[in-house]
Amino acid sequence: MADTPQQLGDKRSETMMSGTVGTVRLFGVPVRMHFTFLLLLIFLVFIGIGGKQSGATTALYVIALFGSVLLHELGHTLVMRHYGIRTLEIVMFPIGGVSRPERPPKGSEELWVALAGPLVNAVIAAALFAWLALQGKFVPVELLREPTDANLAQRIAVGNLLLFLFNLLPAYPMDGGRILRSLLALKRPEDEATRIAATAGRFLAAAVGLFGLLSANFMLVFVALFVYLGAAQEGAAITGRILTSGFPVRAAMITDFRTLSHGDTIRDAGNLLLSTSQHDFPVMHGDQVLGLLTRAALVRAMLTGGPEAYVAGAMDRNFLRIPPDLDLSEAMSRLSPAGTCALVMDGDRLLGLLTAENLSEFILLRQISRSHAQHVT
């Protein structure tokens, strides 16, 4: 059975994050590993071999840490599902996982979603510590620095405790930063709460990075860089969502655009690319939209098929389509993972294009307009 336009749009919005490998589904959610996470797993196994810990215990420890991070993300996923928010994918990174929601949680939703992950690690740590206490198998903390088969359970418990504490740091993109933002939003405007939480995240990251440099702990420097960049990106993304909320897609879409015919060649598309400022072209058969030819696909087709190849063979038939009355903030969240361009369609009728570039210009104009209005008042 052929996919409906809505199904095609849904599939396009589920495009996987770049740099990920493998897919395993848990509770219906695709779980993928970033290639850097695989490198970390190999590194952890390598440094664990040759000491007082057996190879099997080393592998079990690495799997337990992986499972702890994954359960943390599943905690977020299940609470989001409670609020009717679908998780598009979970991606495992070296210093944690990322759950990508269909839409960002709002208000109190964000508080409980953010708390769910760390609480999972707290429960795991508490359960293991309770079991160790009943068995009388606690060892001094200083002895945990040397991994052995005997202290495996305690090291897993400590690892989950550290995950709990680390994720509660009040810094984006950590869960603590999201908790701080949601609490601030109870008393302050959403954009101000976002700005305060993102600024706190950057200051904390700078302090951790400075400490890492002074103590020659380059792992801390790496973590600080990750937190700093995440705080900046998350702050910008949330500000963008605030500035676009309440506006329909038609308010920002491009209505003056060029199209290609399904019988045009890659040479024709290249000439159009050079003669206009447009980068993405709808491919038409009369009034019917057949696909979308992006600049990347055009260049790829030029290299592989040559200039005489037809655009119909290079276009994306599973393009992202969005209705003109969709809230612009929701369209932005769909556009980010899917690519740089979406087609704005009313049923089967093409109305315009929504690109990352003109969306950024809309946000910039909104910022200037709000700033001017604040100065006037």
Residues 6+ apart with CB under 8 A from 125: 157, 158, 160, 161, 164
- For position 238, what pLDDT does the model report? 74
pLDDT tens, residue by residue, 110-133: 899 999 999 999 999 999 999 998
> In this structure, what token pair is assigned to residue 270?
């290249």
Report which residue type is found at 78. L
Q: Among residues of the chain, what percentage have pLDDT more than 90?
A: 34
**What's the rounded Cα separation, in Å, for the pair 364 and 356?**
12
Query: Hey, which residues does 167 pair with through a beta bridge?
Result: none
Residue 372: is it exposed, middle or buried by C-beta count within 10 angstroms (0-12/13-18/19+)?
exposed
DSSP 267-323: HHHHHHHHHSS---EEEEETTEEEEEE-HHHHHHHHHHT-TTSBGGGTSBSS--EE-
Mean pLDDT lowest among 173-182, 222-231, 321-330: 222-231
pLDDT tops 60 at residue 365: yes
- For position 237, what pLDDT does the model report? 74
**What's the rounded Cα separation, in Å, for the pair 377 and 374?**
5
Report which residue type is found at 374. Q
Query: Hey, which residues does 341 pair with through a beta bridge?
Result: 355
pLDDT tens, residue by residue, 78-91: 999 999 998 888 88
Residue 92: is it exposed, middle or buried by C-beta count within 10 angstroms (0-12/13-18/19+)?
buried
Assess contact for 289 and 282: CB atoms under 8 A. Answer: yes
DSSP 170-237: SSTTSHHHHHHHHHHTTTS-HHHHHHHHHHHHHHHHHHHHHHHHHTT-HHHHHHHHHHHHHHHHHHHH
Q: Residue 48: which H helix or E strand, with range? A: helix 35-48
**What's the rounded Cα separation, in Å, for the pair 315 and 294?**
7
Residues 6+ apart with CB under 8 A from 98: 17, 73, 90, 91, 173
CA atoms lying within 13 Å on the CB side of residue 325? 2
pLDDT band with cut points at 50, 70 and 90 for residue 139 = confident
pLDDT tens, residue by residue, 142-162: 767 777 777 888 889 998 999
> In this structure, what token pair is assigned to residue 99?
């759950």
Rounded to the nearest angstrom, the gap between the alpha carbon of residue 151 and the centroid of all alpha carbons in its chain is 35
> In this structure, what token pair is assigned to residue 323?
């209705």
Domains of the chain with bracketed CATH: 15-168 (no CATH), 249-367 (3.10.580.10)
pLDDT tops 60 at residue 26: yes
pLDDT band with cut points at 50, 70 and 90 for residue 336 = low
pLDDT tops 50 at residue 368: yes
**What's the rounded Cα separation, in Å, for the pair 354 and 343?**
6
- For position 147, what pLDDT does the model report? 76
3-state DSSP assignment of residue 28: coil
> CA angle, corner 291, sides to 286 and 295, nearest 5?
120
Most confident segment among 98-107, 143-152, 255-264:
255-264
Q: What is the pairing mode between strands 96-101 and 87-93?
A: antiparallel
**What's the rounded Cα separation, in Å, for the pair 214 and 226?**
18
